[in-house]
Amino acid sequence: MRSFEGSRGATKGSMSKNGAVLRIEDLHVAVDGKEIVNGLSLAVPSGEVHAIMGPNGSGKSTLANALMGHPRYQVASGRVYLKGEDITELPPQERARRGLFLAMQYPTAIPGVTMVNFLRAALKAVQGRDVPVREFRQRLQEALALLKMDESFARRYVNDGFSGGEKKRAEVLQMSILRPTMAVLDETDSGLDIDALRTVAEGINALRTPAAGEDQAPMGVLLITHYQRILNYVTPDRVHVLYKGRIVRSGGSELASELEAKGYDWITDAVDAEGDGANPSKGGDGE
């Protein structure tokens, strides 16, 4: 098992006994010079699911992209630790190789590149070794079965001409093959009908515990969503409300139900009423 020795500076008590697989400290992120995330701190212990909810423009997608190291999302200050290692300055591929995964809200098409070739290259890259064809095939078939996808899917070009639902399934398919230790899911539930949502949720749940014989810590999940819907299938250990680039409230899974019933206004109004004069831009294009 890996140890998580790098929990220095973390507030004791908020950490689970497993240590945090992902830890964010006072993160500030700017896009095109405009600060969207300002002062966000969070720790996701191994094996836990943390939901991040918030109204449009609260900075959810900015957070997701910054965690993966997208060049357009500039970290102005703060640190991000993965399994205790500071990854704030690392390029995306190095983060991926250390076990971080981002299921994107808007996956990009790569015309002419088949899913199967792409997945093989990605698996080789994250594992740092040539994966035998048989092993790869087995993983691919298992993942396809898990997500109830046809084998012909693997021969299609990456995200090219995929429906919204197919794109989201393809993201979880990749996650299933790459087996990260920390997954950030950016609105993976949006655009899915109820059956697809259930399938995707089952996929996520299945991946939370490592396969038998795998020497790997249980996966941590940061589940970014606008709606409470998916949380009926993937039960969060913690729910955080993001507003104006910061976490303004945290609670257990019951907080999600409360948000579902009451909307966000009762929280955002309270935050605004506090008259936080230091709060900068409203971050309207932060999604």
Partner 1 sequence: MTTTKNAGDIVSGYKYGWHDPEFKPVNAPRKGLDREVVTQISELKGEPQWMRDFRLRALDIFESKPMPTGFWGGNIEGYPLDFQDIYYYVKPMEGQGKTWEDVPEEIKRTFDKLGIPEAERKFLAGVGAQYDSEVVYHKIREDLEKLGVVFLDMDGGLREHEDIVKQYFGTIVPPADNKFAALNSAVWSGGSFVYVPAGVKVDIPLQAYFRINTENMGQFERTLIIAEPGSYVHYVEGCTAPTYSNDSLHSAVVEIIVKKGARVRYTTIQNWSTNVYNLVTKRAAAYQDAVMEWVDGNLGSKLTMKYPSVFLMEPGAHGEILSLAFAGPGQHQDAGGKVVHVAPNTTSTIVSKSISKGGGRTSYRGLLKVYPGAKNVKSTVRCDALLLDADSRSDTYPVMEIDEEQVTIQHEATVSKVGEEQLFYLQSRGIDETEATKMIVNGFVEPIVKELPMEYAIELNRLIELQMEGSVG
Q: Which residues bind partner 1 (CB under 8 A)?
A: 68-72, 91-93, 95-97, 101-102, 104, 107-108, 110-113, 117-118, 121-122, 125-126, 157-158, 174, 178
Q: Where are the alpha helices (DSSP H) in 99-163?
A: 115-127, 133-146
64: which DSSP letter?
H
- Using the minimum distance from each CB to partner 1, give the nearer residue, 122 or 271: 122
- Using the minimum distance from each CB to partner 1, give the nearer residue, 181 or 268: 181
Cα separation, 77 vs 55, in Å, equals 24
- Using the minimum distance from each CB to partner 1, give the nearer residue, 164 or 251: 164
Cα separation, 186 vs 168, in Å, equals 10
- Using the minimum distance from each CB to partner 1, give the nearer residue, 112 or 161: 112
Beta bridge partners of residue 51, listed in sequence order: 223, 239
Instruction: Work out how close the CB of 274 gets to partner 1 at its nearest, in angstroms, rounded to a whole number.
Output: 36
- Using the minimum distance from each CB to partner 1, give the nearer residue, 67 or 197: 67
Instruction: Work out how close the CB of 69 gets to partner 1 at its nearest, in angstroms, rounded to a whole number.
Output: 8
Burial class (CB in 10 A: 0-12, 13-18, 19+), 114: middle
Instruction: Work out how close the CB of 111 gets to partner 1 at its nearest, in angstroms, rounded to a whole number.
Output: 6
Instruction: Work out how close the CB of 64 gets to partner 1 at its nearest, in angstroms, rounded to a whole number.
Output: 11
Q: Which of 268, 282, 285, 242 is nearest to 52 (CA)?
A: 242
Instruction: Work out how close the CB of 76 gets to partner 1 at its nearest, in angstroms, rounded to a whole number.
Output: 19
Taken as a whole, the chain contains a residue count of 287
Instruction: Work out how close the CB of 157 gets to partner 1 at its nearest, in angstroms, rounded to a whole number.
Output: 7
Beta bridge partners of residue 157, listed in sequence order: 114
Instruction: Work out how close the CB of 97 gets to partner 1 at its nearest, in angstroms, rounded to a whole number.
Output: 5
Residue matched to tokens 């990854």: 87
- Using the minimum distance from each CB to partner 1, give the nearer residue, 112 or 132: 112
State both tokens at 57.
Answer: 């423009």
Do 54 and 228 meet the contact criterion of CB atoms below 8 Å apart? no
- Using the minimum distance from each CB to partner 1, give the nearer residue, 109 or 270: 109
Burial class (CB in 10 A: 0-12, 13-18, 19+), 278: exposed
Coil vs helix vs strand at 161: coil
- The string of DSSP codes covering 207-233 is HHSPPTT---PPPEEEEEESSSGGGGT
Coil vs helix vs strand at 198: helix
Instruction: Work out how close the CB of 117 gets to partner 1 at its nearest, in angstroms, rounded to a whole number.
Output: 8
Cα separation, 173 vs 168, in Å, equals 9
- Using the minimum distance from each CB to partner 1, give the nearer residue, 99 or 220: 99
